[in-house]
Structure 1
Amino acid sequence: MSRPEHQGSPPQAARRSAAANSNDRELSSSAENDNEPTNLRVSDPQEDDDTGSYDEFIELLAVMGRHKHAKGASPNVVARYEKYKDAGRWLPRGISPVCDVKSMLTVGITLFDIPEEDWELTGELGKYEYDEILKFVKQYNAFQAMCPVITAQLALFENKPDAIADLAEFLESKGGKARTDDVQKVKDSCLKYLPELGRSDIQNPPDNLAKELRGFENLATGRLLTPRSMRDVFDDNPTQFCLKARLGERAFDADDFATFLYPEHHYDAGDPSEHLLMSPYLLANFRAMYQGKKSASTGQGESSSKANAGRPVLFKMWKVQTVTPEYICYCAFILRFGLTSQRFWDENDGEHIGKQFYNNLMLLFEDEAWTKKTLAWWNKEIFGKMTHELAPNGNPVQRRNGPSMLELIKIRRLERARAASATPALTSRGPSEQIEGAADARDDEAQETTAHEGDQGSHSGEEEDEGEGGGSGDGDGDGGAH
């Protein structure tokens, strides 16, 4: 996308000037009287507690520089430190593991809450392509929604590149530790969910297989790393295929999507996007990462009972209710490393570049129809109740055909209720009226019976004649003639 022409934005310039003057006054006040610092506030009164004074801001940056803990800091600083720390741990999972955090903060803080037509893309922002600007603004908006404290302290960060750099370094540090936790989790558990192929020549390895023996050192993990377009070639001679991969005679880059990203039995060579990322194996690891290991096998998230005391699972901690492309692509990004033979974390694997792999996956979600279909499947599997289509091993989940037992009970009761309502009932009159009406009905019935018996005696001969003549009531004339 080409960069639009901007004439210089009065709103942006005015906001920068106001922020600079406000910070200058804060510095002056602090220097003149260290015991009575002037608090710098933003307009939203709900954010006052997260803004703090300039002295607290400087203390916060100093605490962040230690990277370990906020021990010894004032309570307000500790509270803000924890919020930034949690946001830093969420950042690679919810935004991007390959995010340029410093650029995201620089662009986002400068342009936050300013209409696009008023952007002034000069100075520090002039070095970025317009597509990059749009990406960083989108990422920053997601970040500040997760971390409102940065919005409260926006004016404190404006025109302070060193402060932004300190925050970026802190967030990257916390994000790196979160990624390390996820890598360890996936490395320890990803072999538990390998699909059963039913082939004697490709046996699943033990769950604790050493990392250096994975990848193309093992047929099962090598098969999952093989581009799906080449899997049939792999299946023809798995041993030879893995040998050539180890020798470098077969190389794969991030533009070809691996087998583990697809269901076992669904692949369209003419349209490789079909069923891409709808992988039961990826799904099981996604559940283990975000909802707990129990969820990977049962499809149900772990509870917060005393038996599971400790840090809650990620989706509960973040109160996530919707699967996003970022969560899916991050899991695939980490899972691929879990399958390789690399002992230590490296997002790159030979010609397979991790950043390119992640970005390629995210590019898939630029197609609206594909995105809608894919996210509907994921949200159904993760948050749907009794709607999972596939078991972790890739086999379809078998459920009842037709109505449930409860539905049948409801149907039968409804039928009985309708039948009862169709039967006349003497419920519209009072009790005394009903008794009198019943007595009158019995008297009328007795009189009708007596009269009917008399009629039968007087007409019995006529009935016999009609019967012998074979006529009907309409044939009296014919009977008389006969």
Structure 2
Amino acid sequence: MAESQSDDGQPSGDEDALHIAHCRSKRQIAALELELETMRASSKKSRRQQDSYVHRGRAIRRLVTLYENVEDLIAAFDRHQEFQENDHNESDLENTCDDDRLYKSFEELITVLPWMKKIVLRGTADELEDICKQLQKGADGARGDDTANLKQDIVSWLTDLFHPIEPPLCTTTKDEHGFVHDVTGKLICPAEFDWDLAIVKDGIRDRNPSYLVTAYSWPLFLYENFEFYSTDAERGLFRSSLLIKAFKFIFTSPSSIRDLDEDHATPGHRRGSSNQKAATKNHIASILGMKAVTPRSIAYTAVQVRFALSSANTWHNVDGDFDYSQFYNTILDFFEDLPGPAAKKRVDELLAWWNRKAFGKNRPITLPVTAVKKSSVSQLAAQHLAKEVE
């Protein structure tokens, strides 16, 4: 059938309108397809952002705080800011002191995740809430992974340390661990008690009030060679080989544990050790941007080891009379709440020892500002400047 045309040979009005409608429909379809593609891309970007926040959150339990939520740390920051900005009385000061631990954890959060400060200061409430949820998911996920992985490997370490173990420790269940087993019982026994005495062992197992196991006592596993000196309770504290193994297992790599005795190896063996390979590997510490051992990473490791040695199969803040949260905070107080310069010097020496054990001699070391000022380069620069002024 011939196409209907007007007298001048052009399509009729109806056909022209139909053509225009057809073109408009095509444009609308193209616009909808573009909108759909944009939505898909936005959804992928949002998922990538969420995955990124979850991944970054894995540092929080390990390096910032083991128990508090991110929202609690931000709330402590807000209260601290209000206290700084407004008039306050003694009751306000008391409340602020109660938040001091949380605020310290917030400062650690900003150190570990520096981009969070901008989010806290300028982000919307909805944005901040969403990011906190993702960070929390990553934080708890990392803790759960470390707990599950450590449960199996710690049995092999104990077998090496106390071989032969009778009865053998099981790697799949912890029902026979803790105070049920002589080896794990000795290690989590309060250091001031002598586990080898039957009266102590029976008293702990029966929850005798004279032998309660609480976070007011240091567990024996924290001490070097698992030996406690009542006249010097600090001697050997946090120098346990078991604690170092667990730290390296969590923060460097399971294989790096083999290099703990590298300092005692022959030069030829040292050059051929796997420690140099580990230095180039993207282990957890390097992924987290961790350049040195921190008190909070030690406290995190200690809690994980204590839980791995216990008979508890699921994570709880309290195990019998032992409060894990109090235990964690007590360790932080040992490192961070120091009575004076002598204690600080001992802690600095302990952390230096940890850095050598955990990362070896070749780890990057940041030179203190005071040392930089005393350097010959700085002296020359100052002398040059002085001569210019003369």
TM-score under structure 2 length normalisation: 0.67
SS of structure 2 residue aligned to 1:223: helix
* CA 120–164 in structure 1, closer or farther in 2 if over 3 Å, else same: farther
Residues matched between the structures, number? 301
Q: Specify the code of the residue in structure 2 equivalent to 1:178.
A: A
Question: For each residue in 1:325-375, what CA deviation from the matched residue of structure 2 results, as whole angstroms up to 9, or x when unmatched?
Answer: 000000001111111111111131111011101001111112313311211
Report whether the alignment pairs 1:119 with 2:85.
yes
Q: Indicate if the aligned counterparts of 1:263 and 1:275 stay in contact, CA closer than 8 A.
A: yes
Match of 2:306 in 1: 336
Residue of structure 2 equivalent to 1:193? 157
Q: 1:167 to 1:226 in 2, by over 3 A?
A: same
The residue that corresponds to 2:103 in the other structure is: 137
Displacement of 1:382 after TM fit?
1.1
Q: In the aligned structure 2, how far is the partner of 1:331 from the partner of 1:373?
A: 19
Does residue 1:362 correspond to 2:341, yes or no? no
1:227 to 190, 203, 208: 190
Say which of 338, 359, 371 aligns to 2:347.
371
- Contact 1:323/1:375 (<8 A) preserved: yes
Letter in 2 for 1:205: P
- Pairing 1:114-193 to 2, within 5 Å after superposition: 118-120=84-86, 129-157=95-123, 160=125, 164-193=128-157
- What's the CA shift for 1:272? 1.1
Q: Decide whether aligned partners of structure 1 residues 281 and 137 sit closer, same or farther in structure 2, where only a CA change above 3 A counts.
A: same
- Does 1:91 pair with 2:60? yes
Are 1:291 and 2:287 an aligned pair?
Answer: no
Matched, 1:104 2:73: yes
Partner Cα distance (1:169, 1:128) in 2: 30
Larger RCO (CA within 8 A; separation ≥ 6)? 2
When structure 1 is superposed on structure 2, of 165-174 and 216-225 the one drifting more is: 165-174
Indicate how the Cα distance of structure 1 residues 270 and 209 shifts in structure 2: closer, same or farther if over 3 A, else same: farther
> 2-side partners of 1:110 and 1:150: how far apart?
17
For 1:384, which of 360, 365, 369 is the aligned residue?
360
Partner residue, 1:246: 205
Secondary structure at the aligned position of 2:175 is classed as helix
Please report how far the alpha carbon of residue 190 of structure 1 lies from its aligned counterpart in structure 2 after TM superposition.
1.0
**3-state DSSP of counterpart to 1:358:** helix
Aligned-partner SS, 2:291 = coil
For the 8 Å contact 1:87–1:146, the answer to whether it is kept is no
The CA RMSD measured in Å over matched residues stands at 3.5
2:50 maps to 81
Q: Is the 8 A contact 2:74 2:120 kept in 1?
A: no
Match of 1:256 in 2: 217
Is 1:262–1:277's contact at 8 Å kept on the other side of the alignment?
A: yes
Change over 3 Å in CA distance of 1:350–1:109 after alignment to 2: same
Identity of aligned residues (%): 22
Q: Structure 2: how far apart are the matches of 1:74 and 1:127? A: 46
Deviation of the 1:110 alpha carbon:
7.2
2:12 paired residue number:
none
Structure 1 residues 144, 197: closer, same or farther in 2, change over 3 A? closer
CA contact (8 A) 2:220 2:228 kept: no
Q: What code does the residue aligned with 1:316 have?
A: S
Letter in 2 for 1:221: T
- Paired with 2:348 and 2:74, the residues of 1 have a C-alpha distance of 30
Deviation at 1:254, TM superposition (A): 0.2
3-state SS of 1:341 partner: coil
Tell me what 1:318 maps to: 288
Could you tell me how far apart the structure 1 residues matched to 2:61 and 2:334 are?
A: 19
Specify the code of the residue in structure 1 equivalent to 2:181. Answer: N
Distance 1:167 1:235, change over 3 A: same
Query: What SS does structure 2 have at the residue aligned with 1:229?
Result: coil
Residue 191 of structure 1 deviates from its aligned partner by 1.6
CA displacement at 1:121 relative to structure 2: 7.5
Question: Are the aligned partners of 2:179 and 2:205 in contact in 1 as well (CA < 8 Å)?
Answer: yes
How far residue 98 of structure 1 moved from its aligned partner, in angstroms, is 1.5
2:248 is matched by which residue type in structure 1? R
What is the CA distance between 1:145 and its match in structure 2? 3.3
Relative to structure 1, is the Cα distance of residues 354 and 72 closer, same or farther in structure 2, using a 3 angstrom cutoff?
farther
| Structure 1 position 179, deviation (Å) | 0.8
How many Å separate the matches in 2 of 1:219 and 1:301?
34
Partners of 1:90 and 1:245 in 2: how far apart?
36
Structure 1 runs not aligned, ≥5 long:
1-70, 388-482
Alpha-carbon contact 1:302-1:313 (below 8 Å) kept = no
- AA partner of residue 276 (structure 1): L
TM-score by length of 1: 0.55
- What is the CA–CA distance in structure 2 between the aligned matches of 1:204 and 1:263, rounded to whole Å? 25
What does residue 267 of structure 1 align with? 228
Structure 2 Cα separation of the partners of residues 82 and 285 of structure 1 = 27
